[in-house]
């Protein structure tokens, strides 16, 4: 067995391996993997596979390049996901060897949604838990509960072009019209970058259709799409950015999202939160927590930030930062 970097000649076997390992995945395996590899010309070499003498794949750690801001400075790094080794090989600690190999090649990396057993291995290898993503569910208008049943996916073209909240206007824009934001939205948090290249890659693809709304007077934005859960159509707030120190900025976004659900006649909204401040806003809008938290991990030294992490005041992460959003529903 050998752990090595992925190459283009491995792709067909990688598609087949993922189909075998993740039979529950809703979207085509080739489309899913090609999406992650499309971010840049160098993406393929960021991924590691475990192969036998015939180059058949028995394990993987998939990764994507990413940038983040910490203490106001921008850094390039790696976002890991879909870490798995075939069960018959786990007793020989190939999972640990995988992470040691990845850490030797890419010393700083991050990820979300790590399973409990894998989380223990990561923590032993000097990863830190930076927080977690909590899922919140809210009802915008109970009148639309019945009309939400059996609707399926609603294309963004059906959404309003503009949403007004008091004197603020959020316009639906394309990824190409999104500004190239080169600074953090919040200097006080660890925060993945949202520059134009990221927005174009993340929200202009054939996996799902997204609607981006931007505040006319600032760079505040949010991204939504509909998903079908047990035959009920709900609106997912996939991504959002605003200055959390500005009073009412996130509350306006939530109110705008509620207006969109009213315009398209659906009732349920799903939001991901990694910050205590976001939790508070959602609870004020009568959202409630549901499901299990998704851990956020990083291989960086954050010992001095222990209190902020425990108080959910460190990492500003949304569903958009998790591979889970792309392959569910």
> 147 and 104: one domain?
no
> 48 and 156: one domain?
no
> 215 and 257: one domain?
yes
As a whole number of angstroms, the distance between CA 210 and CA 231 comes to 20
The mean per-residue pLDDT over the stretch 269-291 comes to 96
Residue 126: inside a domain: no
* SS3 call for 160: coil
Residue 308: inside a domain: no
Fill in the DSSP letter of residue 144. G
pLDDT, averaged across the chain? 94
As a whole number of angstroms, the distance between CA 152 and CA 31 comes to 21
> 62 and 207: one domain?
no
Residue 200: inside a domain: yes
The mean per-residue pLDDT over the stretch 5-29 comes to 93
Give the C-alpha distances (Å, rounded to integers) separating 1 from 76, 87, 112, 151, 276: 31, 15, 28, 48, 45
Q: Can you give the pLDDT at residue 61?
A: 95
Residue 279 in this model has a pLDDT that exceeds 60:
yes
The mean per-residue pLDDT over the stretch 86-115 comes to 92
> 174 and 264: one domain?
yes
> 46 and 166: one domain?
no
Largest CA distance in the chain: 65
The mean per-residue pLDDT over the stretch 120-141 comes to 94
Residue 122 in this model has a pLDDT that exceeds 60:
yes
Q: Which residue has the tokens 């409630």?
A: 288
Residue 27 in this model has a pLDDT that exceeds 80:
yes
Q: Can you give the pLDDT at residue 237?
A: 98
- CATH label of the domain that carries residue 87: 3.40.630.30
Domain count of the fold of the chain: 2
Residue 241: inside a domain: yes
- Which of the four pLDDT bands, split at 50, 70 and 90, describes residue 118? confident
Residue 163: inside a domain: yes
Q: Can you give the pLDDT at residue 117?
A: 85
Q: Can you give the pLDDT at residue 136?
A: 97
> 95 and 162: one domain?
no
Q: What are phi and psi of 262, to 5 degrees?
A: -65, -35
Q: Can you give the pLDDT at residue 329?
A: 57
pLDDT in tens, 174-214: 999 999 999 999 999 999 999 999 999 999 988 999 999 99
- CATH label of the domain that carries residue 191: 3.40.630.170
Residue 24 in this model has a pLDDT that exceeds 70:
yes
> 138 and 285: one domain?
yes
CA 75 to centroid of chain Cα atoms: 18
The domain boundary residue, chosen from 108, 143, 163 = 108
> 231 and 99: one domain?
no
- Which of the four pLDDT bands, split at 50, 70 and 90, describes residue 33? very high
> 176 and 235: one domain?
yes
> 82 and 163: one domain?
no
Residue 289 in this model has a pLDDT that exceeds 70:
yes
> 185 and 93: one domain?
no
Residue 122: inside a domain: no
Residue 160: inside a domain: yes
The mean per-residue pLDDT over the stretch 100-109 comes to 94
Residue 328 in this model has a pLDDT that exceeds 70:
no
State the residue range of the domain holding 248.
134-293
Residue 40: inside a domain: yes
As a whole number of angstroms, the distance between CA 191 and CA 75 comes to 10
Give percent of the chain above pLDDT 70: 99
Strand 57-70, strand 48-51: pairing: antiparallel
């Amino acid at each position: 067995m050998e752990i090595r970097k992925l190459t283009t000649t491995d792709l067909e076997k990688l598609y087949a391996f993922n189909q075998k390992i993740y039979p529950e995945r809703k979207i085509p395996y080739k489309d899913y993997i090609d999406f992650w590899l499309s971010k840049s010309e160098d993406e393929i070499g960021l991924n590691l596979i475990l192969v036998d003498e015939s180059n058949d794949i028995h394990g993987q750690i998939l990764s994507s390049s990413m940038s983040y801001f910490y203490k106001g400075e921008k850094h390039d790094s790696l976002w890991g996901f879909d870490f798995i080794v075939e069960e018959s090989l786990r007793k020989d600690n190939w999972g640990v060897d995988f992470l040691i190999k990845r850490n030797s090649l890419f010393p700083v990396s991050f990820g979300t949604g790590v399973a409990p057993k894998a989380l223990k291995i990561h923590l032993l290898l000097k990863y830190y838990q930076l927080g977690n993503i909590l899922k919140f569910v809210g009802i915008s208008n109970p009148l639309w509960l019945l009309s939400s049943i059996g609707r399926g996916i609603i294309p963004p073209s059906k959404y309003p072009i503009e949403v007004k909240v008091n004197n603020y206007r959020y316009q639906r824009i394309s990824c190409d019209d999104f500004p190239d934001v080169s600074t953090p939205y919040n200097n006080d948090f660890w925060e993945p970058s949202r520059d134009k290249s990221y927005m174009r890659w993340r929200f202009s693809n054939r996996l799902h259709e997204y609607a981006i709304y931007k505040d006319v007077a600032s760079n505040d934005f949010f991204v939504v799409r509909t998903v079908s859960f047990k035959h009920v159509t709900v609106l997912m707030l996939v991504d959002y950015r605003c200055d959390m120190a500005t009073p009412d900025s996130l509350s306006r976004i939530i109110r705008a999202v509620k207006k969109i659900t009213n315009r398209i006649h659906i009732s349920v909204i799903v939001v991901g939160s990694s910050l205590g401040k976001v939790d508070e806003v959602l609870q004020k809008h009568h959202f409630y927590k549901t499901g299990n938290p998704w851990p956020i991990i990083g291989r960086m030294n954050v010992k001095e930030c222990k209190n902020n992490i425990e108080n959910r005041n460190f990492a500003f992460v949304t569903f958009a930062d998790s591979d889970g959003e792309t392959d569910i529903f």
